[in-house]
Structure 1
Amino acid sequence: MDLYLKIATQIKQFFGHDAIDLPLFLEGKILRIEVPIPNIEPLNWLARQQSDVKTYWSDRQGRFIMAGIGTVDTISSSSPISYPSVFGQIRQNLSSLFPNVRYYGGIGFSQDRWIDPSWKLFGNYRFVVPRFEIWTDGVGTFFACNCLGNFRSEQWDRDLDLILDELIQLDLTPLEIVIDPPVQIDRSDTPDLHEWERNINLALAKFADLKLEKIVLARKSILTFTKDLQPQLLLLLLQPNNHPSYHFCFQIDATTAFIGTSPERLYYRHDRLLKTEAIAGTRHRGASIQSDIQLSEELRSSLKDVREHQLVVDNLKLILAQLCQSVKIDRETAILKLNKVQHLYTQCQGILTPDITDTDILPQLHPTPAVGGVPRTQALKLIQELEPFERGWYAAPVGWVGADDAEFAVAIRSGLVDRNRLLLFAGAGIVTGSQSEEEWIEIENKIRHFTDLFTPVNSPTVTGHRSHIER
């Protein structure tokens, strides 16, 4: 049977017959039809669709991958987030009878700053349920259609007609896309190296007065290309060399998207089980096995990096003690090896105290010392004073929320697609003893998974920048 016909038949069956038996409490909630399909690679499929609104999420091990287009429901605002209100709306719209319905999205790093025009469409928070999804759980591949539970109103038949009209516009072939990397023509950094050195020195000078132990300062690098970028194609270029990492794309309109390959979990919750982790301290990967091991040992023995990592671990201990009735933290610090860099890594988990929800968890964990600093309040205030740009969703929570579970990553190793520009963001943890040029090079290593994709053409700005770093 033709795949389109198979899916359309299942949707008609649900609307015409299955919905009759649905319990009344599902009225107004989000319902879901799932159809097993032959293997279609989700990101390739997403890149071929014509919808302006696209959503992509892959967990760190690639066990769950979802590509979605369109929206059934959107919860968003440019006003500061009210966690009880937002998570209350999400809980109200979801049901455990449809456990695979999820809201995907994110929250701005800072809720009390002006929103830069580049981030305007994202607002301070935005969560969506896609209309159509292709998803895989490592066992099978499925097509899903989400819809509002208007099954006891006249709107129900109109919803079916609308869905079938949208369905026929989809490309359901399993074709792969041939990708030509975009041509980069310019690059600029904010702050530049001179301003970066000044900011580091200003921050370190205030450590004693503010009782700071650590602050994370970030840089924005703007790459300009010959034509508008296609966000999913960029993510396809990034994927092969960036595991284990979360991969995400939140495309808001035809020319604007936030993409990334973050290695860092903020938290995963299944019922009352909470998992989180500490990632801080960085070295680049070695060119050989021997040099890679040497760099790992150098990282383990670095007083600066160990202290930076321990600040994150100690902070998590305090937070988990407030949220959980039991806590388990790895005794030994591991090394998380990524394609371009490696980090100190400690896993943490706990059993949540009854009545603790995502409303309580998210504002406690975000921002972590790995992207903000210690103490949090003083570090965030100084970040606002020193950083000459708006972080937007960079280093903020991105992920999904379901009826009984949730998962958020920290949106590092990320970039904002704005027509023919790619705005890259990365930060460095500053502690006593930090050197500005070393931290600049660390940031350069962190964005290499993006910058290595492109060959700059006729760009004095880029050439000059690279020659300085390599010196």
Structure 2
Amino acid sequence: MATACTSGHFLARFIDPEPAKCSISASPISCSRQSIHFFHHKYQSCSLSMNGCQGDPRAPIGTIETRTFPTVPSPALAMDTLNSAISQLKSDPPPFTSGIIRLQVPIQQKIEAIDWLHAQHYHLLPRCFFSGRTRTGIGNSDIFNGNGHNSTPKTHNLVSVAGVGSAVFFRHINPFSYSDWKSIKRFLSNKCPLIRAYGAIRFDARSNISSEWKDFGSFYFMVPQVELDELEGSSMLATTVAWDTSLSWTWAMAIDALQATMCQVSAIVVKLRKEVPKTYILSNNHIPSKTYWDLAVNRALQLIDTGNSALIKVVLARSSRVVTTTDIDPIAWLACLQVEGENAYQFCLQPPNARAFIGNTPEQLFHRKCLSINSEALAGTRGRGRSTTLDLQVELDLLSSPKDHLEFTIVRESIRKKLEAVCNGVVVEPKKAIRKLPRVQHLYAQLAGRLRSEDDEFDILASLHPSPAVCGFPTEEARLFIAETVILIRDGCEREGGGCDGAGYAICGDKVVYVVVVVLQKSCGFNEGGGCDGAGYAICGDKVVYVVVVVLQKVCLCGVGWGSGVGGSVGRVCGLSTRFLNLELWFGVIQSCGFNVELLS
């Protein structure tokens, strides 16, 4: 059965400021450079790879390169080209003790990355997916020119990426550190703009890890062995091989592992219908009960109202278990989110033979290009009006609401102060506007600054998340209150004969927003909640509305994942402005492409 988890989500793309050596070895058809890195975790014996965190982050990689082959009409022909190229590589290995090489074949046909990922049924392999917030491309990367010149037609902009298998992974049970960050960037080069890392970091690595997240450790990044890049007018199939003898992962081991993964990849891709999965609810159980839930909410409100604490806002969690008649495919559910996913990011991360983390968010918390930094503050939510007139009325109500202004100001000013700590100057423009999404609208501000040093990028990563939108404010007071409340609720749940693995609610002043997190299980069921460390929320006037975060668990050798969406009830889970609070993990993309960095919450 699937287990639900509350969690906030955070997306990131980081770029390596110091390009590694980029070389091209002999190849029958080699044209341009570019690599994508998905950091993979080999947690189970079924998917062999190396853990990059065990290496020396100061040691340079021998070679980082991309080889581009001629365009072919179909995925099947792309597979043939790659298999042939891999065989040639195997017979003529590069003269380096470490390196990472990407082989890529452009495809004339446009293949959607989500469809390709759904066609890969061998779920013992790790997999990942990332779709940009707009359909104008992810990072506007130049795909076919590795020298940094932007000469690629717009039709070649990257839209989304799906990957399976692992070339290298980064995982540890200890908190994500500067050394870990450098270990990841060791495999990146700005000369290879499609080299990226996808992964997740725990919301609070100091707390005990929930069972739903144990396969991720404190953080987990992966570079996929095989990936499908969806472009605006075409697509591209690519493979990546990485090796490092100092990590006891030789070239021969790496190339053999890549060939084994290629044998499991399907070139037959069927278009997903992207319809909301239909099922029936057999039963549901809430943990904690309404009694203990009310106690936790009242305790937070009293603490805020009395002024005995600096706490202004806090996000808490609770769990509900729902048993359904049928299983729900996480990738199919993620595809449903894309239907209304305009101006939102969709993502999936699944370690080998484990649960998957899927989600949908409109927010970009952090973006870096060279030393330039951009961030966004989103807080305060209303539904969309059924007509233009009603929608304008709702917008004006949101703009004039003191409660929403307070919540929004807390988030915006927190981000501004953290940027000012590492930037020479921060500009906020607009200071307060409306961001409209298909089903909801938010208060919105954009912040820009310039880093004093490229190494300050890690400080941005460490400080911006969790933001007040996903944890509370002040952050440490909110963390402490969350931890204390989790213990109190868990003790109460145990007296009631249950466990506390929950969904959540946000408390700000005298307003309470209830949050639901859903986990689906293979044994015909799902949990709303799972791990007391997160959730999402939406506000519609003074009413409580549900935001659904979905977790699907792999059982009986069948891969599954987690997803998210906003809706007015548990039965409506495909709305698209998801907000994640108190999240156990954020999701990230680490990329070396013109020094771009993105963190999305």
Q: Same fold (TM over 0.5)?
A: yes
Structure (1 or 2) with the greater helix fraction: 1
Among 77, 81, 104, the residue aligned to 1:34: 104
Note the 1:267-282 alignment, pairs <5 A: 267-282=366-381
Q: Partner residue of 2:469?
A: 370
Q: Which residue of structure 2 lines up, in the alignment, with residue 76 of structure 1?
A: 171
Q: 1:344-401 CA distances to partner (integer Å, 9 max, x unpaired)? A: 1111121111143432111110110111122111111112222445679x99xxxxxx
Higher mean Cα deviation, 312-321 or 173-182?
Answer: 173-182
Distance 1:10 1:383, change over 3 A: same
Deviation at 1:296, TM superposition (A): 1.3
Structure 1 Cα separation of the partners of residues 132 and 450 of structure 2: 22
Give the deviation of 1:217 after TM superposition: 2.9
Tell me the residue number matched to 2:426: 327
Give the match's secondary structure for 1:336.
Answer: strand
1:358 aligned residue: 457
TM-align CA RMSD? 3.6
The yes-or-no answer on 1:451 pairing with 2:451 is: no
Alpha-carbon distance in 1 for matches of 2:452, 2:92: 39
Superposed, 1:431-470 pairs within 5 Å as 438=542, 440-441=544-545, 443=547, 447-448=566-567, 451-453=570-572
- Corresponding residue number in structure 2 for 1:195: 292
Counterpart in the other structure of 1:148: 242
Shift of the 348–271 alpha-carbon distance from structure 1 to 2, 3 Å rule, reads: same
SS in structure 2 opposite 1:51? coil
Aligned residue identity for 2:279: V
Q: 1:109 aligned to 203, 211, 224, which one?
A: 203
Unaligned runs of 5+ in 2: 1-71, 138-158, 490-499, 507-514, 550-564, 575-601
1:402 corresponds to: none
Match of 1:426 in 2: 535
> How does the TM-score come out when normalised to structure 2?
0.64
Q: Does 1:50 align with 2:121?
A: yes
Q: Judging changes above 3 Å, is the alpha-carbon distance between structure 1 residues 454 and 112 closer, same or farther for their aligned structure 2 residues?
A: closer
1:170 Cα deviation (Å)? Answer: 1.8
SS of equivalent residue, structure 1 residue 127: strand
Q: Secondary structure at 2:351's aligned position in 1?
A: strand
Judge conservation of contact 1:329–1:346 (CA < 8 Å) in 2: yes
TM-score by length of structure 1 reads 0.80
Change (3 A) 1:47 1:248: same
Match of residue 128, structure 1, among 215, 219, 222 = 222
* Alignment match, 1:461: none
Equivalent pair of 1:260/1:414 in contact (CA under 8 Å): no
Check 1:293–1:94 CA distance in 2 against 1; reply closer, same or farther (3 A cut): same
Give the SS at the match of 1:349.
Answer: strand
Counterpart position of 1:217: 316
Instruction: Assess if the C-alpha contact under 8 Å between 1:31 and 1:98 holds in 2.
Output: no
CA contact (8 A) 1:238 1:450 kept: no
> Given that residues 183 and 454 in structure 1 are in contact (C-alpha distance below 8 angstroms), is that contact kept between their aligned partners in structure 2?
no
Distance of aligned partners of 1:274 and 1:20 in 2 relative to their CA distance in 1, 3 Å threshold: farther
Q: What code does the residue aligned with 2:284 have?
A: R
Q: CA–CA distance in 1 between the matches of 2:424 and 2:92?
A: 43
Shift of the alpha carbon at 1:417? 4.7
Range with bigger deviation, 14-23 or 62-71: 14-23
Q: What's the offset of the Cα at 1:452?
A: 4.0
Change (3 A) 1:371 1:454: closer
Structure 1 stretch displaced more, 252-261 or 11-20: 11-20
| Match for residue 277 of structure 2 among 159, 172, 181 | 181
Distance 1:184 1:77, change over 3 A: farther
Cα distance, 1:4 vs structure 2: 3.4
Aligned counterparts of 1:78 and 1:151: Cα–Cα separation in 2: 23
Going from structure 1 to structure 2, the CA distance change for 1:260 and 1:382 (only over 3 Å counts) comes to same
Which range moved further: 298-307 or 327-336? Answer: 327-336
Q: For the structure 1 residues 99 and 443, does the alpha-carbon distance in structure 2 shift closer, same or farther, using more than 3 Å as the test?
A: closer
CA distance in 2, matches of 1:312, 1:321: 14
Once the two structures are TM-superposed, the CA of residue 450 in structure 1 deviates from its matched residue by 8.2
Q: Which of structures 1 and 2 has the larger relative contact order (alpha carbons within 8 angstroms, sep 6+)?
A: 2
Secondary structure of 2:463 counterpart: helix
1:50 deviation in Å? 1.9
Give the superposition deviation at 1:302. 0.5
- State the aligned residue count: 430
Deviations 1:48-99 (A, max 9, x none): 10232221111211323111111111111233x1321220210122233433
- 3-state DSSP class of the match of 2:227? strand
Q: 1:312 aligns with which of 400, 406, 411?
A: 411
Match of 1:338 in 2: 437
Provide the rounded CA distance (Å) in 2 between the counterparts of 1:213 and 1:89.
Answer: 37
Task: Tell me the equivalent position of 1:297.
Answer: 396
Work out whether residues 77 and 124 of structure 1, in 8 Å CA contact, stay in contact via their aligned partners in 2: yes
AA matched with 2:409: Q
For residue 241 of structure 1, what is the amino acid of its counterpart? E
Structure 1 residues 296-319: Cα deviation after superposition (integer angstroms, max 9, x where no partner):
111111000001101111111111
Matched, 1:60 2:133: yes
